[in-house]
Amino acid sequence: MKRVVMWMAGALVSFSALAVSIRSLSHGLNVYEILAVRNVGGLVALLGYALARRERVAGPFPLRIHLLRNVFHFGGQTAWSYGITVLPLATVFSLEFTSPAWTTLLAVLFLGERLTAARLGAVVLGFIGVMVILRPGIEGFQPAALIVLGAAACFGVQLTTTKFLTGTNSVLTIMVWMNLMQLPMYLGVNVATGGPLWFGGLLSWAEAPALAVLCVAGLLAHVCLTNAFRYGDAIMVVPIDFLRIPVIATVGMLLYGERFDPVILLGAAIIVSGIAWNLYDSRRRAG
């Protein structure tokens, strides 16, 4: 339990730092440029780790699944990062929690997994939670939140394909090819939308700390979360992961003057309750 809490604390700090670094850098760079920098930093760190540990990075097999995963992860990361720049941080993080509901739905539709009452409940509660957060038809509704919801759906595809790939690929291989495939995507879209291929001239030494946080926090967030799941099962990790919402809401309030909205916390709690129900049912069925 102590190890789970330690790794989850690292994940909470890392995800919050990642969001702050993206918002900070968005004043001088667009989303594609920010994420291209993150890919470069991730590649350097991952390949350095592979060389130091003498671990082999295999080829991207099956290629079509790697491509599918990375196209959707590209879309999800772009939409999520855009949301960070225009929406309250707590709203973005809350809507991201719908990813497991999308994953459940996709696994039933495309992987042939059984639709149990708990899985259906997770999807329905996820939908209800989204309605509570977005409040369609109410004055406070923000259309940009739909982009973040699209990001969560993309992450659902990414998680589904990752589940398939981990049967034949190491985590290191998946991560290296993720950065290798997505880097040209970000650079290509940046050029296609009128941005420069080389944007180093747009950076200044004043942005160096935010760039460092972007690269380090981006990797550490996933390392910490992966290790938390290694030392504790999902039914233990997910409730702790829910603390991301009040943590990022506090960060948004202190750094950006964002108003704390209890309704967002309520919506996120509804979404997470569905996830927890599904996880508990899955563990019970597994014996």
Give the whole-angstrom CA distance, residue 128 versus residue 50: 43
Is-contact 265 113, C-beta < 8 A? Answer: no
| Residues 2-42 pLDDT 10s | 888 999 999 999 999 999 999 999 999 999 999 999 999 99
Using 50, 70 and 90 to split pLDDT, how confident is the model at 127?
very high
Burial 166-175 (b: 16+ CB within 10 A, else e): eeebeebbbb
Q: Token match 């991301």: residue?
A: 244
Question: What pLDDT band is residue 109 in, cutting at 50, 70 and 90?
Answer: confident
Distance between CA atoms of 113 and 40, rounded to whole angstroms?
37
Domain that holds residue 275: 2-286
Average pLDDT over the chain reads 91
| DSSP secondary structure string for all residues of 175-229 | HHHHHHHHHHHHHHHHHHTT--S--GGG--GGGHHHHHHHHHHHHHHHHHHHHHH
pLDDT score at 150: 96
Percent of the chain, pLDDT > 90? 65
For residue 287, the model assigns a pLDDT of 67
Reported pTM: 0.90
Question: Are 225 and 96 within 8 A, CB to CB?
Answer: no
Q: Is the pLDDT of residue 266 over 70?
A: yes
Number of domains, the chain:
1
> Where is pLDDT greater, at 244 or 112?
244
3-state secondary structure of 235: helix
Please compute the mean of the pLDDT values over residues 58-72 and round it to a whole number: 95
Confidence of residue 137 (pLDDT cuts 50, 70, 90): low
**What pLDDT, on the 0 to 100 scale, is given for residue 162?**
87
Report, in this order, helix, strand and coil percent for the chain, each rounded to 5.
80, 0, 20
pLDDT number for residue 284: 86
Token pair, residue 86, equals 């225009």
Give pLDDT, residue 200.
79
137-146, 171-180, 184-193, 255-264: least confidently modelled range: 137-146
Give the per-residue pLDDT at 112: 81
- Non-local CB neighbours of 123 within 8 Å, separated by 6+ positions: 101, 104, 105, 274
pLDDT digits (tens, 9 = 90+) for 218-264: 889 888 988 887 788 777 788 888 899 999 999 999 999 999 889 99
Burial label, 140 (beta-carbon count in 10 A; 0-12, 13-18, 19+): exposed
What is the C-alpha to C-alpha distance for residues 100 and 108, in angstroms, rounded to an integer?
12
Residue whose pair of structure tokens reads 């009128």 in the numeric block: 194
